[in-house]
Amino acid sequence: MKKKDSAVNWISILGILLLSLTDFPPAKAQALKEIRIGTSDVTSTNFSIYYAKDRRFFEREGLDPKMIIVKEEAILAPLFAGELGYTTFSTSAVEATLIGMPFRLVAVANEQPVWGLVVPKSINQVAELRGLKIGVSSFGGTIYSGAVYVLKYFGLNPKDVTFLAIGNTLTRIAALKKSAIDAAAIAAPGDILAAAQSTGRPWAGSALP
């Protein structure tokens, strides 16, 4: 009788061990909560969001992220209306809080702006940009705000240049190659690509104080 009981016990223990080692699929009882994130194409500034989605970090928290490509100048309306729950356009959202919009910043992915100002090789000082055309993604965004900061830091008034909102990185690179603009503020690694495909060279915005 004891031998029989011992055998049953060992079988039970073996069964428990096998169950603990089995890789069961995740439970399907709880559906993932869909969240809509307003963002741009992949850049160095929002790469972490796309990486988190690809590595399923959101799923581990019970979330199903939907990336909605939006122009930065158009982000506030759908965000305020509740059509989007989140955005990677932190500059626009933070500035909107100054006029009373109910937004808040929950995370910062970069310690410093990661972008470059691509200029002609003939230009050696920021002051030489006076009277020239600078391409940005949109007005009021991170890229635009960074370019304005650089101009002011080196003693130029933003009105001393002409800003043109001409779209994403590839559009700005094309405009540089066609000489439709004289310089462009571009997030990394697009600034390096732009310098390689045009006659310009990048100044690193992140290297500025």
Domain harbouring 175, CATH code:
3.40.190.10
Q: Report the alpha-carbon distance of residue 141 to residue 123 in Å, rounded.
A: 25
Task: Tell me, yes or no, whether 93 and 146 share the same domain.
Answer: no
Number of separate helices (H) and strands (E) present in the chain = 8, 8
Residue 2 lies in a domain: no
Number of separate domains in the chain? 2
Residue 151 lies in a domain: yes
pTM: 0.57
Task: Tell me, yes or no, whether 70 and 134 share the same domain.
Answer: no
Task: Tell me, yes or no, whether 126 and 191 share the same domain.
Answer: yes
Residue 37 lies in a domain: yes
Residue 7 lies in a domain: no
Residue 1 lies in a domain: no
Residue 45 lies in a domain: yes
Domain hosting residue 44, numbered range: 33-97
Per-residue pLDDT of the chain (209 residues; tens, 9 = 90+): 444 444 444 444 434 434 344 444 554 557 999 999 999 877 777 888 999 999 999 999 999 999 999 887 788 899 999 999 999 887 778 778 878 888 988 887 777 667 788 888 888 888 899 999 999 987 877 788 888 988 998 899 999 999 999 888 888 888 888 889 999 988 777 777 777 776 566 554 444 44
Task: Tell me, yes or no, whether 195 and 120 share the same domain.
Answer: yes
Task: Tell me, yes or no, whether 49 and 78 share the same domain.
Answer: yes
Q: Are 63 and 31 in contact (CB under 8 A)?
A: no
Residue 103 lies in a domain: no
